[in-house]
Amino acid sequence: MSYPLSPPEITSLQMYTGPGSGPMLAAASSWQGLASELGSAAASFSSVTGGLAWQGAAAQAMTSVATKYVQWLGAAATQAGGAASQANATAGIFEAAKAAVTHPAAVAINRQQLVQLVKTNLFGFNCPLIAEVEGIYEGMWAKNVGALAGYHSAASAVAAQLTPWAQALQSLPAAAQSAGGAIVANTKANVADASAANASDLARGSALSSRKITQAKQVLTGQEREAAAVSPAQRVVQAGRLVAEAGAIDAGTGVRVATRMAAVAPLSAAQAGDIVGGAGPLKSIEYEEFARAAAVNPLLQTGDGPGQTASAYNQAQLADTSRLAAYQTATTKQLTAQHLENARAALSGRQAEAAGIPSMDGLRTATREVAEAAALNVGTGAQVGLEKAFLAPTLLGADLDILGGGDELLYPEEYY
Q: What is the DSSP string of 226-270?
A: TGGGS-HHHHHHHHHHHHHHHHHHHHHHHHHHHHHHHHHHHHHHH
Question: What was the pLDDT predicted at 226?
Answer: 60
CA 255 to the chain's CA centroid: 10
Q: Where are the domains of the chain?
A: 1-172
From residue 281, alpha-carbon distances to 35, 83, 264 in Å are 19, 21, 13
Question: What was the pLDDT predicted at 102?
Answer: 92
Q: Which residues contact 400 (CB under 8 A, 6 or more apart)?
A: 248, 249, 251, 252, 255
Q: Are 263 and 386 in contact (CB under 8 A)?
A: yes
Alpha helical stretches, state H, 101-231: 104-119, 127-160, 165-168, 174-177, 180-221
Q: Are 155 and 148 in contact (CB under 8 A)?
A: no
Of residues 410, 198, 174, the one with CA closest to residue 313 = 410
User: How far apart (Å, rounded) are the C-alpha atoms in residues 225 and 218?
Assistant: 9
Topology of domain 1-172, CATH: Ferritin (1.20.1260)
Q: Are 136 and 120 in contact (CB under 8 A)?
A: no
Question: What was the pLDDT predicted at 415?
Answer: 44
Question: What was the pLDDT predicted at 138?
Answer: 92
Q: Which residues contact 85 (CB under 8 A, 6 or more apart)?
A: 28
Question: What was the pLDDT predicted at 81?
Answer: 84
Of residues 89, 78, 86, the one with CA closest to residue 36 = 78
> CB pairs under 8 A, 24+ apart, for 40-49?
41/73, 41/374, 41/377, 41/378, 42/70, 42/73, 42/74, 42/77, 44/374, 45/69, 45/70, 45/73, 45/370, 45/371, 45/374, 46/70, 49/367
Under DSSP, is residue 282 helix (H, G, I), strand (E, B) or coil?
Answer: coil
Of residues 254, 166, 155, 152, the one with CA closest to residue 202 = 254
Of residues 11, 129, 34, 147, the one with CA closest to residue 85 = 34
User: How far apart (Å, rounded) are the C-alpha atoms in residues 21 and 33?
Assistant: 18
Question: What was the pLDDT predicted at 363?
Answer: 60
Angle, alpha carbons 82-88-90 (nearest 5°): 100
Q: Where are the beta strands (DSSP E) in 299-348?
A: none
From residue 233, alpha-carbon distances to 8, 246, 359 in Å are 35, 20, 88
Q: What is the mean pLDDT of each run of 10 residues along the chain (416 residues)?
A: 78 83 83 79 68 51 62 77 85 90 92 90 86 92 90 84 59 52 78 85 87 82 63 78 86 86 80 79 54 48 68 82 85 85 71 45 71 80 82 85 82 55
Question: What was the pLDDT predicted at 331?
Answer: 86
Question: What was the pLDDT predicted at 171?
Answer: 47
Q: What is the reported pTM?
A: 0.53
Question: What was the pLDDT predicted at 110?
Answer: 92
Question: What was the pLDDT predicted at 133?
Answer: 92
